[in-house]
Amino acid sequence: MSRRALPILKHVFSTQSKITTRSVTYMPRPGDGTPRAVTLIPGDGVGPLVTGAVEQVMEAMHAPVYFEKYNVHGDMKTVPPEVIESINKNKVCLKGGLKTPVGGGVSSLNVLLRRELDLYASLVHCFNLQGLPTRHDNVDIVVIRENTEGEYAGLEHEVVPGVVESLKVITKFCSERIAKYAFEYAYLNNRKKVTAVHKANIMKLADGLFLESCREVASKYPGIQYNEMIVDNCSMQLVSMPEQFDVMVTPNLYGNLVANTAAGIAGGTGVMPGGTNHK
């Protein structure tokens, strides 16, 4: 081997080692142990119990964080401006469940928070926990759900008494954005496959646009296997052979159903970590 080839090979090996060790970081790390402010919304129902347990764990670990706590409840009509300011400042928020009114035309504060902060990506990691027996083994599924549009846009009105019209909004911008997030997550975390969940056999234009966007993004990641699955078949496959799934990318409504199903298979929503992210 010539000496001229050595620097080139050294560069290749160095580059490969950097690629294999990349990982997703969801928040900046100060690195010097400086306490970091985190916005805390205990929420409703079991929310205060869950977030209270997190506070105890952080205290026991002497974690370099402190909480700015706000009492926000699901029956409020809007999120107080100081809460939004705190989240924008801290960049990290721990939120318990907020009660969502059923019917009556009252907006969900969960949805309002997503819109206000452009929390476009919901990520739920469903996997088997040691010591927690479940029907299926080898479950390790990441559900990445578009979080700002679709049926959750809330565009509905009563045309005439007794007839309600709801609009499902799907845009190329949001579809491409969530697809890029899913494939980049898969690449950074050494995941092998991304499955797009859809109903394009019926919603030919809306879900068709979502699939078109996913295919375009998939072509830029040749090292990651890509497939598509109709949401009803996906539901059956999830409860029969969940080990076949790796990363799943979905529109808003389907992702809500798929993520909860996957969490139930792996032990329940109470033990599955999840979060929402923005740019």
Q: What is the pLDDT of residues 239-264, one digit of tens each?
A: 999 999 999 999 999 999 999 999 88
Q: Report strand pairing: 140-146 vs 247-250.
A: parallel
- Among residues 117, 142, 167, the one where a domain terminates is 117
Answer yes or no: do 260 and 129 share one domain: yes
- Among residues 68, 84, 117, the one where a domain terminates is 117
Centroid of chain to Cα 128: 18
Answer yes or no: do 98 and 186 share one domain: no
pLDDT at 111: 81
- CATH number, domain of 180, equals 3.40.718.10
Answer yes or no: do 203 and 147 share one domain: yes
| Residue 131 token pair | 């010591």
Res. 23 pLDDT band, cuts 50 70 90: very low
**pLDDT at 279 > cutoff 70:** no
Answer yes or no: do 137 and 101 share one domain: no
Answer yes or no: do 9 and 112 share one domain: yes
Res. 12 pLDDT band, cuts 50 70 90: very low
pLDDT at 18: 39
**pLDDT at 31 > cutoff 90:** no
Q: What is the mean pLDDT of residues 172-194?
A: 96
Number of structural domains, the chain? 2
**Cβ–Cβ < 8 Å for 30, 64:** yes
Answer yes or no: do 70 and 93 share one domain: yes
- Which residue, among 128, 258, 246, has the nearest Cα to 190 in the 3D structure? 246
**pLDDT at 7 > cutoff 70:** no
**Cβ–Cβ < 8 Å for 26, 188:** no
- Among residues 61, 93, 117, the one where a domain terminates is 117
Answer yes or no: do 143 and 39 share one domain: no
Answer yes or no: do 127 and 94 share one domain: no
Indicate the average pLDDT of the chain.
Answer: 84
Q: Which residue has the higher pLDDT, 107 or 257?
A: 257
**Cβ–Cβ < 8 Å for 246, 141:** yes
What range does the domain containing 48 cover?
1-117
**pLDDT at 69 > cutoff 70:** yes
Answer yes or no: do 95 and 170 share one domain: no
Answer yes or no: do 124 and 256 share one domain: yes
**pTM assigned to the model:** 0.79
φ, ψ dihedrals at 199, nearest 5°: -140, 45
* Residue pLDDT, tens place only, 146-163: 999 988 777 888 999 999
Q: Which of 61-65, 102-106, 181-185 shows the lowest per-residue confidence on average (mean pLDDT)?
A: 102-106
pLDDT at 220: 97
Token pair 């598509």 in the structure block, residue: 228
Answer yes or no: do 140 and 109 share one domain: no
Answer yes or no: do 23 and 95 share one domain: yes
**Cβ–Cβ < 8 Å for 242, 262:** yes
Q: Which of 68-82, 95-109, 152-166, 192-206 shows the lowest per-residue confidence on average (mean pLDDT)?
A: 95-109
Res. 191 pLDDT band, cuts 50 70 90: very high
**pLDDT at 77 > cutoff 90:** no
pLDDT at 115: 83
Bridge partners (DSSP) of residue 146 are 121
**pLDDT at 79 > cutoff 80:** yes
**pLDDT at 174 > cutoff 70:** yes
